[in-house]
């Protein structure tokens, strides 16, 4: 298996632009998690899905952030409009039901100028 796939790996954009991050979980995994990593706050959960249904989005910073999981093999995290404080590394992770391990993608490094 190719593991969790994230795209793009790097994104540089200007303030006010829309940004879309993509994630393909490992086949057969039914839970998907979006985390954000910053120097100040460390690793924190943004949102997670079970069986394509959002379960907890309390970590989403504000309405500028939205996430979808239209099917079991694809999820997006969108920021509109982006701001410099959104600059961070965004990780997607997936987990199979009953398995006690989350598998992480390589992350997307977002820079908002």
Partner 1 sequence: AQSVTQLGSHVSVSEGALVLLRCNYSSSVPPYLFWYVQYPNQGLQLLLKYTTGATLVKGINGFEAEFKKSETSFHLTKPSAHMSDAAEYFCAVSDPPGNTPLVFGKGTRLSVIA
Residues of this chain that bind partner 1 (CB under 8 A): 4, 30-31, 33, 35, 42-45, 48, 50, 56, 91, 93, 95, 97-98, 100-107, 109
- Closest to partner 1 by CB, 31 vs 52, is 31
Record the tokens describing residue 25, joined without a space. Answer: 């979980």
Q: How far is the CB of 81 from partner 1 (least distance, A)?
A: 27
- Closest to partner 1 by CB, 50 vs 76, is 50
From the list 38, 23, 21, the residue with the least C-alpha distance to 95 is 23
Q: How far is the CB of 18 from partner 1 (least distance, A)?
A: 25
Q: How far is the CB of 100 from partner 1 (least distance, A)?
A: 5
DSSP string, 21-83: EEEEPPTT--EEEEEEEETTTEEEEEEEEETTEEEE-TT--STTEEEEEEETTEEEEEESS--
């Amino acid at each position: 298996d190719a593991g969790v796939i994230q795209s793009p790996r790097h994104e540089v954009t200007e303030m006010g632009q829309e940004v879309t991050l993509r994630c393909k979980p490992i086949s057969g995994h039914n839970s998907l998690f979006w985390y954000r990593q910053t120097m100040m706050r460390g690793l924190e959960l943004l949102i997670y899905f079970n069986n394509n249904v959002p379960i907890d989005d309390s970590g989403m910073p504000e309405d500028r952030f939205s996430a979808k999981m239209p099917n079991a093999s694809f999820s997006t995290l969108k920021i509109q409009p982006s701001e410099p404080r959104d600059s961070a590394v965004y990780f997607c992770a997936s987990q199979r039901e009953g398995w006690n391990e989350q598998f992480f993608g390589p992350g997307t490094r977002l820079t908002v100028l």
